[in-house]
C-alpha cells in the first residue's frame, strides 16, 4: 500500500481535496515510478480508479510523464466496486461482492504481488483483515486540519512496526511499516 498523508494524519481534505499532495519533485517521481513499474498488479477502490483512469489514459498524461503513463495503462489493475459494470481501462479486472475473500485469493496467485494506490476505504478494510503486508506512507509537511484519515473506520488498533524511513529534500518523509 502506498499513500500520501498530511503531517496531521489526513489522507484527503474536505470533499476529497488532495491539492496539498507534493508530487512535483524528483524524489517523489522516482518513488512513483518504482511503484507503478514494479510489475505488481495495481489495486484501487472505485473513486481512486476513476481519478487514475480519467488522468492516466489521456494524451496529456502520456506527454507529461510517458514512463508512468505507459506503466499505468499497461499494468494489470483490480478495481473493487459495486457500481462499475464494465471497467473501460485496459487491463482492469473487477472485484464485486466479497472484497476480503477476493483479495485473499489474489494474494495466493503467483506473480509480483499487489500494490494499493490511494483508495482509503479499501486500505482500512484490508488492513483490518490483515491483508496488507507493507504500508508506505509519504508524510507531507502540511497540516490541513480536517478531512479523512487513511484508516478511518477500522475497529480496534492496528499495530505496526517501522521497517524503513527516508527523508525527502522537500520535507516529506517516507515511512514504511509492516504489521506488528
- Domain ranges in the chain are 2-12+21-160
Secondary structure, 3-state, the chain: CEEEEECCCEEECHHHCCCCCCCCCHHHHHHHHHHHCCCCEEEEEHHHHHHHHHHHCCHHHHHHCHHHHHHHHHCCEEEECCCCCCCCCCCEEEECCCHHHHHHHHHHCCCCCEEEECCHHHHHHHHHCCCCCCEEEEEECCCCCCCEECCCCCCCCCCEEEEEEEECCCCCEEEEEEEC
Going by pLDDT thresholds of 50, 70 and 90, the confidence category of residue 61 is very high
Q: How confident is the model at residue 35, as a pLDDT?
A: 85
2-12+21-160: CATH topology: Dihydrofolate Reductase, subunit A (3.40.430)
Higher pLDDT, 111 or 76: 76
The model scores a pTM over 0.85: yes
Going by pLDDT thresholds of 50, 70 and 90, the confidence category of residue 8 is very high
Amino acid at each position: 500500500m502506498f499513500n500520501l498523508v498530511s503531517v496531521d494524519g489526513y489522507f484527503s481534505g474536505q470533499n476529497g481535496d488532495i491539492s496539498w499532495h507534493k508530487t512535483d519533485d524528483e524524489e517523489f517521481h522516482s518513488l512513483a515510478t518504482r511503484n507503478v513499474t514494479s510489475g505488481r498488479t495495481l489495486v484501487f477502490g472505485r473513486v481512486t480508479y476513476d481519478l487514475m483512469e480519467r488522468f492516466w489514459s489521456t494524451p496529456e498524461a502520456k506527454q507529461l510523464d510517458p514512463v508512468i503513463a505507459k506503466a499505468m495503462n499497461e499494468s494489470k489493475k483490480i478495481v473493487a466496486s459495486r457500481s462499475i459494470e464494465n471497467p473501460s481501462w485496459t487491463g482492469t479486472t473487477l472485484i464485486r461482492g466479497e472484497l476480503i475473500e477476493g483479495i485473499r485469493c489474489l494474494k495466493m496467485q503467483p506473480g509480483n504481488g499487489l500494490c494499493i494506490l490511494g483508495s482509503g476505504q479499501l486500505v482500512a478494510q484490508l488492513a483490518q483483515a490483515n491483508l496488507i503486508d507493507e504500508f508506505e506512507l509519504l508524510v507531507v509537511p502540511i497540516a490541513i486540519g480536517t478531512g479523512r484519515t487513511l484508516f478511518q473506520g477500522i475497529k480496534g488498533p492496528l499495530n505496526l512496526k517501522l521497517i524503513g524511513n527516508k527523508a525527502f529534500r522537500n520535507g516529506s518523509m517516507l515511512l514504511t511499516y509492516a504489521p506488528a
